[in-house]
């Protein structure tokens, strides 16, 4: 069952000059971070009704949408830039305001969401690794930890942010 809008997943794509995501908070050991340079940040949330069937379309859309400015001021995809990709699990995208509080009844079960998130990150990584331009420029794919609170720092040349529903 999809949400009222029919969406099974939501993505926010933001271009960045650099980004840093804390993936493990400090405890007895120092905090752990992942970092990317120029490219895009992909905030992703899976909703009820989401399945592996939508992942290929999502991956192609994220990597091929022309959002980044090239050196000659043309819009190009992150693959053509070429640039890095940071994937951030963002369950709050599934929230709906009811009165003065947010509710997340549309979100997929955590275990299902984690499986889809893992598959999505693997497909993004594989596509970036197999692309000639991104491979030549040693572009990276990094991702956050599903189900945990994380701290994100971004330097952007926008904000140039877009929301896409699948």
Is the confidence at residue 102, as pLDDT, over 80? yes
Extract the tokens encoding 81: 């830039």
- Dist CA 46 CA 52 (whole Å): 11
Fill in the DSSP letter of residue 107: B
> pLDDT exceeding 70 applies to what percent of the chain?
97
- DSSP labels for 22-65? EEE--SSS--EEEEE-SEEEEEEEEBTT--GGGHHHHHHHHHHS
Is the confidence at residue 97, as pLDDT, over 80? yes
Q: For residue range 4-21, what is the model confidence (pLDDT) as tens digits?
A: 668 999 999 999 999 999
Q: For residue range 56-93, what is the model confidence (pLDDT) as tens digits?
A: 999 999 999 999 888 888 999 999 999 999 999 999 99
pLDDT, average across residues 104-114: 95
- Dist CA 166 CA 162 (whole Å): 13
Instruction: Name the H helices within the chain.
Output: 55-64, 110-130, 132-136
């Amino acid at each position: 069952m999809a949400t009222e809008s029919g969406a099974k997943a939501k993505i926010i794509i933001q271009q960045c000059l650099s980004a840093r995501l804390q993936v493990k908070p400090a405890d007895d050991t120092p905090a752990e971070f992942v970092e990317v340079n120029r490219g895009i940040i992909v905030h992703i949330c899976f909703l009820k009704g989401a399945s592996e069937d939508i992942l290929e379309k999502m991956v192609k859309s994220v990597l091929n949408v022309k959002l980044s400015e090239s050196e000659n001021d043309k819009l190009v995809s992150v693959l053509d830039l070429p640039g890095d990709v940071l994937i951030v699990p963002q369950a709050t995208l599934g929230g709906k305001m009811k009165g003065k509080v947010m509710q997340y009844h549309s979100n997929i079960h955590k275990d299902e969401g984690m499986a889809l998130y893992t598959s999505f990150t693997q497909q993004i990584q594989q596509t970036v690794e197999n692309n000639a331009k991104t491979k030549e420029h040693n572009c990276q794919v990094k991702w956050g930890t599903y189900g945990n609170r994380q701290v994100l720092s971004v330097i952007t040349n926008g904000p140039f942010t877009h929301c896409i529903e699948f």
